[in-house]
């Protein structure tokens, strides 16, 4: 099914978006699916010494950063307050104290500047991030965005981040069903935790990707989890335990040299991604899918992208040997859209705005455990 979203109106409202779901303070201006600005104040340096996100530190940093980040987003988009149609803000899921800062600030801005407020699910942001268009490639800054966007549905969202790993069935923008998810750690979380055991710093995911390039992914045969569960869920904590045991053994035997670390990173990363591909294969066997949308911080990983493409080809050939069209993997046009950012929140905000889904200001409470299909 080929879809043209909504009717072609020639005005594309500008949405100011804010995300403070975890440790990055982010603001953006989005016009439909076009990203006009995307500003992120990273707190990585602040949390490095804790090896993970420290909530009170995150809360304070969000408070300090927000005014600058919002001002920067408006300036870079060359947009004045009177040109903003609505404010979109992440309501959840995420770290409760961090969400609260963004929500409170967005509600203050909405009151001061008399703008409607739109509550956004952070996971939906990751889900739609591969649909975003850069400013230069946009047909016209005035064109109605969702009507310009061509995509084929139903699609499957594959979200792989530090907080989430899930498959989401998309029948229409806003109509979602979560098909499978991780029952324990998220994929990015285990990469970070195992990376920490190897002293790779924080976050370890990108460092592991670099080191893995020099290693052999088949050197260490990690187990494939959840093969008998009969569902589309994933689990990564068993892999984490296997990694910890191995690191302890190798450290005790003084065997963890440079080559071993490269092999370890390549093998562990491969094991995590193989598990996602294994369940993707199961999903594709049951659901007819025309596109796959990849999002989340780990979506920046080129090995993951390649493995997903290979899996799509393999499964599709096995299921439909006579067809040549393989469901394409859509990825965000820049890595900045993979990690936590507000542009993806603006994308969802503009979808909701075009559908008249405005929230009641003053009434928004954080939703730390909000599911994408709730």
Alpha-carbon torsion, ordered 60, 62, 63, 64, to 10 deg: 90
Strand partners, 27: 18, 39
Q: Are the C-beta atoms of residues 166 and 293 closer than 8 Å to each other? A: no
Please measure the distance between the N-terminal and C-terminal CA atoms of the chain and give it in whole angstroms.
Answer: 25
User: What residues numbered 3-42 form the site for ligand KG4, per CB under 6 A?
Assistant: 22
Query: Which one of ligand KG4, Zn ion, none is in contact with 339 (Cβ closer than 5 to 8 A by kind)?
Result: ligand KG4
333: preceding bond cis by omega (within 30 degrees): no
Give the Cα separation of 368 and 21 in Å (integer).
9
Give the Cα separation of 269 and 43 in Å (integer).
25
Burial letters 266-304, b for 16+ CB under 10 A, else e: bbbbbbbbbbbbebbebbbeeeebbbbbbbbbbbbbebb
The pairing of beta strand 14-19 with beta strand 84-92: parallel
Mask of contacts with Zn ion, 320-359, x by CB under 5 A? --------------------x-------------------
Asked if residue 91 binds Zn ion (CB under 5 A), the reply is no
Exactly one of 19, 124, 185, 209 binds ligand KG4 (CB under 6 A); that residue is: 209
Mask of contacts with ligand KG4, 298-337, x by CB under 6 A? x-xx------------------------------------
Shortest separation between residue 122's beta carbon and Zn ion, angstroms: 6
Options 83-91, 99-107, 161-169, 255-263: segment touching Zn ion (CB under 5 A): 161-169
Reading the block at residue 219, the tokens are 């050197």
> Which residue lies nearest ligand KG4, judged by its C-beta?
297
Shortest separation between residue 40's beta carbon and Zn ion, angstroms: 12
Give the residue with the Cβ less far from ligand KG4, 225 or 297: 297
Asked if residue 188 binds ligand KG4 (CB under 6 A), the reply is yes
Reading the block at residue 47, the tokens are 């949390």
Reading the block at residue 102, the tokens are 């963004």
Give the residue with the Cβ less far from ligand KG4, 131 or 191: 191
Shortest separation between residue 295's beta carbon and Zn ion, angstroms: 9
Query: Which one of Zn ion, ligand KG4, none is in contact with 307 (Cβ closer than 5 to 8 A by kind)?
Result: none
Query: Which one of ligand KG4, Zn ion, none is in contact with 203 (Cβ closer than 5 to 8 A by kind)?
Result: ligand KG4
Give the residue with the Cβ less far from ligand KG4, 13 or 205: 205
User: What residues numbered 5-34 form the site for Zn ion, per CB under 5 A?
Assistant: none
Residue with token string 């191995």: 246
Shortest separation between residue 164's beta carbon and ligand KG4, angstroms: 6
Alpha-carbon torsion, ordered 205, 211, 213, 216, to 10 deg: -110
Give the Cα separation of 91 and 102 in Å (integer).
8
Give the residue with the Cβ less far from ligand KG4, 298 or 331: 298
Mask of contacts with ligand KG4, 338-357, x by CB under 6 A? -xx-----------------
Count interface residues toward ligand KG4 (CB under 6 A): 20
Query: Which one of ligand KG4, Zn ion, none is in contact with 300 (Cβ closer than 5 to 8 A by kind)?
Result: ligand KG4
Which residues fall within 8 angstroms of residue 66, CB to CB, at 6 or more apart?
A: 18, 20, 25, 27, 101, 102, 105
Asked if residue 52 binds ligand KG4 (CB under 6 A), the reply is no
Query: Which one of ligand KG4, Zn ion, none is in contact with 191 (Cβ closer than 5 to 8 A by kind)?
Result: ligand KG4
Give the Cα separation of 248 and 230 in Å (integer).
33
55 three-state secondary structure: helix
CA angle 62, 67, 73 (to 5 degrees): 105
Give the residue with the Cβ less far from Zn ion, 203 or 215: 203
Reading the block at residue 128, the tokens are 């739609």
307 three-state secondary structure: helix
Binding site residues, Zn ion, CB under 5 A: 161, 340
Residues that bind ligand KG4 (CB under 6 A): 22, 161-163, 188-189, 191-192, 203-206, 209, 296-298, 300-301, 339-340
């Amino acid at each position: 099914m080929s879809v043209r979203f909504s009717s072609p109106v020639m005005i594309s409202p500008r949405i100011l978006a804010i995300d403070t779901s975890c440790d990055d303070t982010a603001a953006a201006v989005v016009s439909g699916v076009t990203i006009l600005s995307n500003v992120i104040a990273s707190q990585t340096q602040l949390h490095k010494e804790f090896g993970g996100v420290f909530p009170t530190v995150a809360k304070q940093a969000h408070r300090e950063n927000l005014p600058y980040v919002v001002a920067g987003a408006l300036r870079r988009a060359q947009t004045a307050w009177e040109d903003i149609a609505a404010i979109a803000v992440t309501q959840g899921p995420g770290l409760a104290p961090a969400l609260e800062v963004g929500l409170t600030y967005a509600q203050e801005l909405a009151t001061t500047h008399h703008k409607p407020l739109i509550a956004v699910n952070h996971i939906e942001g990751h889900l739609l991030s591969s649909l975003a268009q850069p400013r230069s490639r946009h047909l016209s800054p005035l064109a109605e965005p969702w009507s310009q966007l061509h995509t084929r549905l139903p699609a499957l969202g594959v979200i792989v981040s530090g907080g989430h790993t899930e498959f989401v069935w998309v029948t229409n923008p806003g109509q979602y069903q979560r098909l499978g998810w991780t029952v324990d750690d998220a994929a990015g979380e285990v990469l970070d935790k195992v990376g920490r055991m190897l002293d790779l710093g924080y976050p370890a995911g990108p460092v592991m990707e670099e080191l893995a390039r020099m290693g052999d992914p088949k050197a260490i045969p990690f187990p494939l989890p959840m093969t008998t569960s009969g569902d589309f869920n994933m689990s990564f904590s068993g892999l984490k335990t296997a990694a910890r045991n191995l690191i302890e053994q190798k450290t005790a035997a003084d065997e963890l040299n440079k080559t071993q670390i490269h092999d370890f990173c390549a093998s562990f990363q491969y094991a995590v991604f193989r598990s996602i591909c294994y369940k993707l294969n199961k999903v594709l066997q049951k659901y007819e899918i025309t596109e796959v949308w990849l999002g989340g911080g780990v979506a920046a990983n080129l090995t993951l992208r390649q493995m997903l493409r290979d899996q799509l080809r393999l499964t599709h050939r096995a299921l439909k040997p006579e067809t040549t069209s393989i469901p394409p993997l859509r990825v965000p046009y820049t890595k900045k859209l993979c990690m936590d950012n507000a542009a993806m929140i603006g994308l969802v905000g503009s979808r909701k705005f075009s559908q008249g889904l405005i929230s009641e200001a003053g009434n928004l409470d954080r939703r730390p455990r909000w599911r994408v299909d709730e």
